[in-house]
Structure 1
Amino acid sequence: MIPLDLTPFFHDRWWIVAIKAVFALVLLLLLTLFTIWYERRLVGLMQHRKGPTMNGPFGLLQSLADGMKLMFKEDFTPTAADKVVFMIAPFVTAVPAITAFAVIPISGVVRIPFTDITTPLQVTDLPVSVLFIVAVASIGVYGIVLAGWSSGSTYALLGALRSSAQVISYEVAMGLALVAVFLYAGTLSTSEIVAKQAEPSVTILGYDLPVWFAVQLIPSFLIYLISMVGETNRAPFDLPEAEGELVGGFHTEYSSMRFAMFFMAEYMNMITVSALATTLFLGGWHAPLPFNLISGLDSGWWGVLWFLLKVVLMLSLFVWLRGTLPRLRYDQFMRFGWRWLIPISLGWILLVATFRVGRREGWFATTAFWVIAAVVFAVLIGLSFFGGGKEEQPAPVPEQGDFDAFAGGYPVPPTQGQQLPELAQVLPGEPQVLAKERRDEGEV
């Protein structure tokens, strides 16, 4: 494999690097404001509502209005909180999402306006850029854990513990989904993975066309899509902040701008994982078919347009899931990750690695390989149909005794066919539980 050439990044002047860093930061902040508005508008469309309309044209300034409202809200710190950690936790959550965007290629080589200087529209690149993004993104969960622990609240602590278990579980599946991309691209550099997807892979009607990894590695792409929703704590996997169970989860005790930092970090993380999906699976900043066949539309500043369109497409998936699916139970969510996503990812990596080695060694040209593959396939099919074993017998239903509506002190409605026993007469001011005890002791 040819070593990564980082010369274009090292030869940039300091002010060019500063301009690219500011451009990436401003783009991320603007995308955050846009995503908040876009989610409300799209969910409103799905639910036959208009969404925000009052502030600015089409309600585009609604996100700024929300920021101003949060800025002037009362900011308080609970008495039982660890004040230093309580104050730092929101920043620990937001900063990693901003840092990870530094190695995302927003476009190819562009010319800076009013100058003759050309530079890649990417702050920097590393031989292990994807691992850098995964590592930095995982730091964000520390902010959530610290926020829940430092709040001095049971609900906040439970939300923090849920978030840590959730992120660890789905980061494993996400990392395994990316292994297949590394095997195909032969590199962990984001710019080289994008360049690899631009290489012609198939010939159709005389045209040599590239094929994105989202098509070549469909199982990895689907596993990544599911994992990124769990990684960002978004519906239907928003269990760390389940308001029906935990009031508000890890940010229950936060208000004003510190709450706004958590709110903004959630959307920044959505944008970061969407940009990573665009880079690794959707060809990055390169134009899709048929625009990549038109000269000039697949280079320069046009790459920013294609990159943003793909990121918005991925953000639409987040909004679609939120407006469609109900929240899962926590045990269902964890079981899905450990019992299905991770084993499927491991099996898929084994298949991809076998295919890559077999293609290089020429296994597919031999008859013995196909005979062995057919035998293995037949055995697996036979086991799936005939190896199920005995069916589990349903557990016997215990006989129902006398129905007691006040068992445990809480009245419950009777089920179909059950008869309520005669209750003791409740004396004035006496709880029904005491009346039940008098009846059980035979006093009435």
Structure 2
Amino acid sequence: MNSFIESIESYGIEIFGWSWPIIWNLVKIVAIVLPIMGLVAYSTLYERKLIGWMHVRLGPNRVGPLGIFQPIADALKLLSKEIVIPSNANSGLYLLAPVMTIMPSLAAWAVIPFGPQVILADINAGVLFLLAITSLEVYGVILAGWASNSKYAFLAAMRASAQMVSYELAIGFALVVVLMVSGSLSFIDIVITQQEGYFANLGLNLLSWNWLPLLPILVVYFISGVAETNRHPFDVVEGESEIVAGHMVEYSGMAYAIFFLAEYANMILISVLASIMFFGGWDAPFSQLSFIPGWIWLGIKTFGFFTLFIWFRASFPRYRYDQIMRLGWKVFIPVTLVWLVLVAFWIKSPFSIWG
């Protein structure tokens, strides 16, 4: 993969000269964004099929063989619908809100590595960039609630802002623990650090990844990620039984669909980050399997975490809002702070497993 990319770059410089870096970056952006949008579309079908299987029913099976064209039909339906702007809404902010929701979800992929050299922007502070860019998404939700001039939407926006800020703290502290053991803000360095150690030398890469020594942090990170994306059982932001569709209640057509695209893009992003920070990214679980391309391993791990999102939805009842806040502030944040101190002492002790 690396040699293939290097050959493309060398030929590109010869053909396009000084303009090649701009063209190459645009090509990489398209190569990342288009597959993500395709994954987002078909992840909705996978969710409906999997939940149907869990509920002992078929799920979508009318549009195409086994329902494989259902996402395309849904997209065409939403494209053909009118975007109705409420008469008392702030039309500019109303239309800006979906864009502000999905743009951070896509921009964050700029620093996600799919291999040792397969990354759009290899910056040495990738984790910091990701935290900064993803924290902007809450503003899109708040704008949607406020600009709609609807009590239901505004209440949902207030819930969303409190919930997302609360669980961002837990995710941030979890990332700090990973940064401490890795000694770098670069996602590539975080993966490379997990490829070293006693078990990695034995070919048991699976046991050298961060999930084993940082298991409580992994649990806190993933559950906080579920809450951060407003997914079930933390979906009080759009709780149908209380506030209809939440901050999206006044939206229709593609403006409505963009919120869902952002939600599923964030689910995939949280899953990829869990794979990179705790499960070795593109690293094979055993050295004998290293002949399989790294992007396939990253995809398998991401698929597993994404399935957990859906499993949660099919298994757990929705929490009350006060329970969600209590879990974030009184359980997750104290756990991450205590574990942060313990890991700091562990790193400095003679029993440290990190070099």
Using the size of structure 1 for normalisation, the TM-score is 0.73
Q: Percent identity of the aligned residues?
A: 41
Say which SS state the counterpart of residue 202 (structure 1) adopts. Answer: helix
Structure 1 equivalent of residue 226 of structure 2: 229
Structure 2 equivalent of residue 370 of structure 1: none
Amino acid of the structure 2 residue aligned with 1:304: W
Name the CA distance, whole Å, in 1 between partners of 2:204 and 2:83: 60
Which of 85, 90, 101 is equivalent to 2:98? 90
Deviations along 1:56-103, whole A, 9 cap, x unmatched? Answer: 232121111111111112321111100100011000000100000111
> What's the CA shift for 1:208?
6.2
Please tell me whether the aligned partners of residues 200 and 208 of structure 2 are also in contact (alpha carbons under 8 angstroms): no
1:169 has 2:133 as partner: no
Structure 1 equivalent of residue 88 of structure 2: 80
Higher relative contact order (CA 8 A, sep 6+): 2
Name the CA distance, whole Å, in 2 between partners of 1:147 and 1:207: 51
> What's the CA shift for 1:18?
2.7
Structure 2 equivalent of residue 16 of structure 1: 24
Name the CA distance, whole Å, in 2 between partners of 1:321 and 1:219: 18
Please tell me whether the aligned partners of residues 212 and 281 of structure 1 are also in contact (alpha carbons under 8 angstroms): yes
Name the CA distance, whole Å, in 2 between partners of 1:48 and 1:59: 17
Name the CA distance, whole Å, in 1 between partners of 2:278 and 2:228: 18
Deviations along 1:235-278, whole A, 9 cap, x unmatched? Answer: 00011111111121101100011001111111011111111111
Structure 2 equivalent of residue 328 of structure 1: 319
> What's the CA shift for 1:221?
0.4
The within-5 A match list for 1:24-423 is 24-108=32-116, 120-202=117-199, 207=203, 209=205, 211-289=208-286, 292-294=287-289, 296-297=291-292, 302-359=293-350
> What's the CA shift for 1:196?
1.2
Q: What's the C-alpha RMSD, in Å, of the aligned pairs?
A: 2.0
> What's the CA shift for 1:53?
1.3
Using the size of structure 2 for normalisation, the TM-score is 0.90
Please tell me whether the aligned partners of residues 282 and 295 of structure 2 are also in contact (alpha carbons under 8 angstroms): yes
Amino acid of the structure 1 residue aligned with 2:61: T
Name the CA distance, whole Å, in 2 between partners of 1:34 and 1:311: 15
Amino acid of the structure 2 residue aligned with 1:309: I
> What's the CA shift for 1:203?
6.8
> What's the CA shift for 1:46?
0.4
The number of equivalent residue pairs is 336
Greater helix fraction, Structure 1 or Structure 2:
2
Amino acid of the structure 2 residue aligned with 1:148: G
Larger-Rg structure: 1
Unaligned ranges ≥5, structure 2: 1-5, 14-19
Please tell me whether the aligned partners of residues 200 and 208 of structure 1 are also in contact (alpha carbons under 8 angstroms): no
Unaligned ranges ≥5, structure 1: 1-7, 109-119, 363-444
Name the CA distance, whole Å, in 1 between partners of 2:125 and 2:198: 25
Name the CA distance, whole Å, in 2 between partners of 1:295 and 1:22: 28
Say which SS state the counterpart of residue 198 (structure 2) adopts. Answer: strand
Please tell me whether the aligned partners of residues 20 and 121 of structure 1 are also in contact (alpha carbons under 8 angstroms): no
C-alpha distance 179-66 of structure 1, shift in aligned 2 (>3 A): same
